[in-house]
Amino acid sequence: MIKEKQSALSVDDQALMLGVVHRDHQAFAELYRQYANKLYSFAFHLLQNHHEAEEVLQDAFVKIWQNADKYDSKKSSPFVWFAMIVRNLCIDRMRSHTRRHVFLERWNHEDASPDHEDGHRIVMAAELSQQISAALSKLPDEQWEAIKMAFYRGMTQEEISHKTRQSLGTIKSRIRRGMLKLRELLRDIYG
């Protein structure tokens, strides 16, 4: 009896995935209804942060929708595939936080060092600031605005989306493209 029920669920999930591949919004909504709570719990368990778990869940379902045609039923059940997407997004987020933390520690350590008033450092910091400002001015306006709100005003992507009345996906895309462009522009300077 249990095996029959699991196999029926698997067939249902497979049918829903096929619906998502064919852009059936109802099939997608049903997958969301069935798995959102479990996937959220998994993301929260990894991240220990409700807001971040919610963002990961949203990103995961965007990836599921966009990449449904890449799902292979021979390799895993839909739920396992979803969980792997959530896991990978959580790992990416944790790595990003670690990089930010290391950067801030280095920045604070350099700022607190005794030779911090050294004239050479002041000149270098001013030059770096000018180079970054010049690179930022080369970004398209919508990317610059999104980056300014996120990094200078400390707004979350969700807050930016609400304030600008743009979809969250659009805001994430603008920030990502802007950061990639900045990296490209600054790579010429810093190698």
The answer to whether residue 99 sits within a structural domain is: no
pLDDT number for residue 183: 83
- Cβ(18)–Cβ(65) below 8 Å: no
pLDDT number for residue 76: 84
Q: Say yes or no: 38 and 72 in one domain.
A: yes
In whole angstroms, give the CA distance from residue 140 to residue 28.
34
Q: Say yes or no: 6 and 85 in one domain.
A: yes
Q: Say yes or no: 16 and 89 in one domain.
A: yes
Q: Say yes or no: 62 and 138 in one domain.
A: no
The answer to whether residue 108 sits within a structural domain is: no
The 10s digit of each residue's pLDDT in 108-161 is 555 554 554 555 565 566 666 677 777 778 888 898 888 888 877 778 888 899
Q: Say yes or no: 65 and 128 in one domain.
A: no
The answer to whether residue 9 sits within a structural domain is: yes
* Domain end among 58, 93, 128: 93
Domain total of the chain: 2
CATH of the domain at 181: 1.10.10.10
Closest by CA position to 16, among listed 55, 71, 86, 63: 71
Q: Say yes or no: 131 and 67 in one domain.
A: no
Q: Say yes or no: 130 and 61 in one domain.
A: no
The answer to whether residue 107 sits within a structural domain is: no
In whole angstroms, give the CA distance from residue 180 to residue 112.
30
The answer to whether residue 109 sits within a structural domain is: no
Token pair 């979809």: residue:
167
Residue type, 18: L
Q: Say yes or no: 11 and 79 in one domain.
A: yes
* 79 CB-contact burial (10 Å; exposed 0-12 / middle 13-18 / buried 19+): middle
Q: Say yes or no: 89 and 125 in one domain.
A: no
pLDDT number for residue 7: 39
The 10s digit of each residue's pLDDT in 53-72 is 999 999 999 999 999 999 98
pLDDT number for residue 102: 57
Q: Say yes or no: 165 and 89 in one domain.
A: no
Q: What is the extent of the structural domain holding 172?
A: 119-190
- Mean pLDDT over all residues of the chain? 79
The answer to whether residue 154 sits within a structural domain is: yes
In whole angstroms, give the CA distance from residue 19 to residue 26.
8
Closest by CA position to 79, among listed 137, 26, 9, 174: 9
Q: Say yes or no: 6 and 63 in one domain.
A: yes
- Cβ(57)–Cβ(40) below 8 Å: yes
Q: Say yes or no: 88 and 18 in one domain.
A: yes
In whole angstroms, give the CA distance from residue 140 to residue 134.
13
